[in-house]
Chains A and B, each alone.
Chain A
Amino acid sequence: MRRVLIVPPPAAALAVLAALALLAGCGGDRESAAGRDTLVIGVNADGPGLGLRTGNRFEGFDVDVAREIARRLGARDVRFRALRSADREKFLERGTVDLVVATYSITAERKTRVTFAGPYYVAHQDTLVRRGEGRIRDVRDLAGRRLCRVDGSNSWRRVIQQRGVPAEPVPAGNYAECVRMLKAGLVDAVSTDDLILAGLVRGDSSARVVNAPFSDERYGVGLRKGDVAGCEAVNKAITGMYQDGTAAGLLRRWFGPSGLRLTTTVPEFEGCD
């Protein structure tokens, strides 16, 4: 039943005014990300295959996912903004960006500052080796082998400290450098999120992912804390992307060539509360 308030002047007009005044007290929240004309979305600028800036164009899986979500939310104009990992919570809290789609893993601690829609994909830590490598089949086989160590990343720690695998860490500045070192024979393996690895070796047949995942990295869509309506709308959009095959197409387009085993059905959402 849709209600139509018949408004007989002047009593009802007065009454409505009074009611609006009452309501004004609880309507102080900022706008939801759902239903905005323009969306500013924070993405990575230096992640090949995920979010990469060339000139002033952004491209990658995250960027395409962000664009699809924005379209399904009904936004007419989408602007991308590069952000570093350390900026993600800050930018959402200040309203610098409306959404963050940037290999942003959902964690209990982050959930205290950010509302997460999705995940839109569950990545796994996995291992990248040279094409001809036959002895490394899972993370245990890294014992005694040279493993690339990127400072500021937890991935190598997961192997050596959490799993207790005695690999020999070799320092590098970032994962792109790791891949160069792998090809040059300076390290035997690179271990981090499979989508990051697959993005780095896209269209390159000299390295492969071993397909022995050992962690879940739930890539979520970050929203301002408390934007539950926006979060629910993003989840609907992600469900739609998986149901109509859009997500599977994007995954294959960006990561198919790496030989990575991809999951093309909708992930288990975190829930917006």
Chain B
Amino acid sequence: MSVLTLAALAALLAFGVSASVGAGDAREALRVIGRDAGPQAVATADLYFTLGDMDAQVANVLLIGGEEGLSREREAALRTYERRRDAASAALLQAADLTGDDPAEQRTVRDVLSGLSRYERLAAEALVLDRRSGHRAGPPPAEVTELYRRATDLMRLELLPKAYNLTLESGALVRRTYEDRRRDVLVARAVSLVAGLLLAGALVALQVYLAARFRRLLNPALALALAGAAVLTAAASGLLGGQAEQLRRARDEGFDHVLALSRARAKGIGVQADQSRFLLDPARRDTYEQAYLDQSQSIVYVPADSLGDYHRAVAGADGSRLLGLVGERVRGRTGEPAVRDVLTGFQGFQRRDRELRHLVRSGRTREAVALRLGASGRAFDRYDGALVSLVTAHRNAFEGAVRTGEARMGPWPYALPVGAVLIGLLVLAGVRPRLAEYR
């Protein structure tokens, strides 16, 4: 009898420990993904967007110059620049808070902060010089262009890559946490299930043994312990299985999409900025046109050798064979209106770009500038708006899954060990009088 009792208690211990550890893993995973690295990844993607838009707005202001018909657009671009600048500083401070104790990431955040103040100085100089020159819409005087080149090179070659890598690093932390913890949760579930069954088996055996040995029909304490063990095992298995599923949903249906689409959105701002730079700096036209093509390809990839090819291929794309950050997310999903809007929005923007390049090639630069700030800008806003809606839908799915997981956690992290202790006491209460009869 004491062997059976010991076996039951050992199984109970294994059950209690594995179920509690599993519940702790699930809670920790929800915290990191839902409250820590997950939101940080999204916040740094927004930082990239903000920085990219700062540089785009500076290019727009310089492009407009003193052109009277576009003074409203100039004011709007300046206001957006200032708003983005403030948002970037705030986002960086937040990122500094969230990087935790990884020295490489902290160093990256510091580098971006100090680079940003250098950028602001260069941009401010360029803006002042440009204001004085009062040129018509189109390329500004050479000394303004020279200052802007230094600013944009700093932004594109140093600051944006670092901001982007911060996003990737947070995304990597989410992936590692997800994979490790979800596996741990599933292992804990399997272990607790087996331990629970062994416990139940031992309790039944004890019951049978006692009935035969002491001619009692039922030991009430042991019967209660058996019922408790059954309930607790089912509860633990359901809880851990459910949490593993919530984690999967949070990641596969939410976070992965949010991160990829936020990165796409950030790159989109760079694409639009490359239009402005293309108009602003004729000597670097080839560079900026190539950058436009490369960045567009990273968003929606279709095979193309030149920008002309790309315009044609994107116009004809039906969403079935696309690659790239947006391409892979919309592939095969164009039946969903929110997804289709993103693709048609992108196509509309690329159509305007084709017109814009055509105007420049035929020497109508001022019209091209007006197009960039008018119809082309609106086409971009439609695309960007559709992308934001899609991101929001996935963000809701993500936050919903995290909240559901947290709510289902309820009192279980405490209830499981307490329940196990109670069952242990019941087992001891059930066998103790019988043990006493031995003496």
Interface residues of chain A, those whose CB is within 8 Å of chain B, are 1, 3, 5-12, 14-16, 18-19, 22-23, 108-109, 111-112, 138-140, 157, 161-163, 213-216, 228-229, 232, 235-236, 239-240, 243, 263, 265-269, 271-273
Chain B interface (Cβ within 8 Å of chain A)? 7, 10-11, 13-14, 17-18, 21, 24-25, 28, 104, 107-108, 157-158, 160-162, 164-165, 168-169, 171-172, 175-176, 183-184, 186-187, 190-192, 194-195, 198-199, 202, 256, 260, 263, 283, 286-287, 290-291, 294, 297-298, 301, 303, 305-306, 323-324
- In the complex, the answer to whether B297 meets A8 with C-beta atoms within 8 Å is no
Residues of A within 8 A of B297 (CB): 108
Name the one of B7, B168, B191, B301 contacting A235, with C-beta atoms under 8 angstroms: B168
- Chosen A-B contacts, 28 in total, with CB atoms closer than 8 Å, are A3-B184, A6-B13, A7-B14, A8-B10, A11-B195, A11-B199, A12-B11, A12-B191, A14-B198, A18-B190, A18-B191, A19-B191, A22-B186, A108-B297, A108-B298, A108-B301, A108-B324, A109-B323, A162-B305, A162-B306, A216-B291, A243-B107, A263-B157, A268-B164, A269-B164, A269-B165, A273-B171, A273-B260
Q: A12-B195, A14-B194, A18-B190 are in contact. Are A269 and B13 (CB under 8 A)?
A: no
A19 touches B194 (CB 8 A): yes
Please name all residues of chain B whose beta carbon is closer than 8 Å to the beta carbon of A243 when the two chains form the complex. Answer: 104, 107-108
Chain B residue nearest to A140 (CB atoms) is B286
Identify which of B10, B11, B168, B199 contacts A269 (C-beta below 8 A): B168
Check if A12 sits within 8 Å of B10, measured CB to CB.
yes
Taking a contact as CB atoms under 8 Å apart, the answer to whether A161 and B305 are in contact is yes
Q: How many A-B residue pairs have CB under 8 A?
A: 127
Asked if A265 and B323 make an inter-chain contact with CB atoms under 8 angstroms apart, the answer reads no
A1 touches B28 (CB 8 A): yes
Quick one: closest A residue to B14, CB to CB?
A: A12
**A15–B192 Cα gap in the complex (Å)?**
8
Q: Is there contact, CB below 8 Å, between B290 and A265?
A: no
| B260 cross-chain contacts in A, Cβ below 8 A | 273
Residues of B within 8 A of A111 (CB): 323
Known: A1-B24, A216-B291. A15 touches B194 (CB 8 A): yes
Q: With A and B bound together, what is the CA distance between A225 and B157 in angstroms?
A: 28
Contact present for A214 and B286 (CB under 8 Å): yes
A261 to chain B, nearest CB (A): 10
Say yes or no: A216-B195 contact (C-beta < 8 A), given A11-B14, A269-B168, A271-B168: no
Is the Cβ of B198 less than 8 Å from the Cβ of A15?
A: yes
Question: Are A112 and B323 in contact (CB-based, < 8 A)?
Answer: yes
Complex contact A11–B305 (CB within 8 A): no
- Please state if B157 and A265 are interface contacts (CB–CB under 8 Å): yes
Chain B min CB distance to A248 (Å): 13
Question: Which chain B positions have C-beta within 8 A of A7?
Answer: 14
Would you give the shortest CB distance from A193 to chain B, in whole angstroms? 14
Pairs of residues from A and B, 10 with the lowest C-beta to C-beta distance, nearest first: A268-B161, A12-B14, A15-B194, A11-B11, A8-B10, A19-B190, A108-B301, A214-B286, A108-B323, A162-B306
- Tell whether, in the assembled complex, residue A8 and residue B14 are in contact, meaning their CB atoms are under 8 Å apart: yes
A265 touches B158 (CB 8 A): yes
Q: Which residues of A contact B176 (CB under 8 A)?
A: 229, 232
Q: Is the CB of B183 within 8 A of A23?
A: yes
For the complex, give the distance between the alpha carbons of A9 and B195 in Å: 11
Nearest-Cβ distance from residue B359 to partner chain A, whole angstroms: 18
- Whether B108 pairs with A239 at a CB distance below 8 angstroms is yes
Residues of B within 8 A of A14 (CB): 194, 198
- Chain B nearest CB from A155 CB (Å) reads 13
Q: B191 and A16: CB pair below 8 A?
A: yes
A139/B286 contact (C-beta < 8 A), A15-B198, A16-B191, A266-B161 known? yes
Report Cα–Cα, A154/B184, bound state, in Å: 49
Distance (Å) between the CB of B152 and the closest chain A CB?
14
Contact A138 B190, beta carbon cutoff 8 Å: no
Question: What residues of chain B lie closer than 8 Å to A214, measured between beta carbons?
Answer: 286-287, 290
Q: How far is it, in angstroms, between the C-alpha of A271 and the C-alpha of B198 when the chains are bound?
A: 46
Which residues of chain B have C-beta atoms less than 8 A from A273's C-beta? Answer: 171, 256, 260
Contact A239 B104 (CB under 8 A): yes
Indicate which residue in A11, A19, A236, A263 contacts B10 across the interface (CB closer than 8 Å): A11
CB pair B104 A236 closer than 8 Å: yes
* Chain A residue with Cβ nearest B161: A268
B residues in contact with A3, CB < 8 Å: 21, 24-25, 184
- Residues of A contacting B183 with CB < 8 Å? 23
Q: Which of A157, A215, A271 has the most CB of B within 10 A?
A: A271
Q: Which residue of A lies closest to B295 (CB)?
A: A216
Cβ 8 A contact of B191, one of A15, A229, A239: A15
Residue of B nearest to A216 (CB): B294
Contacts of A109 in B (CB 8 A): 303, 323
Known: A11-B198, A12-B10, A268-B161. A215 touches B263 (CB 8 A): no
**Complex interface: chain A residues within 8 A of B18 (CB):** 5, 15
Contact between A5 and B164 (Cβ–Cβ < 8 Å)? no
Q: Pick the residue among A213, A232, A266, A271 that contacts B287 (CB under 8 A).
A: A213
Cα-based distance from A16 to B165 in the complex (angstroms): 39
In the complex, the chain A residue whose C-beta lies closest to that of B183 is: A23
CB distance from A144 to the nearest CB of B (A): 18
Contact B195 A15 (CB under 8 A): yes
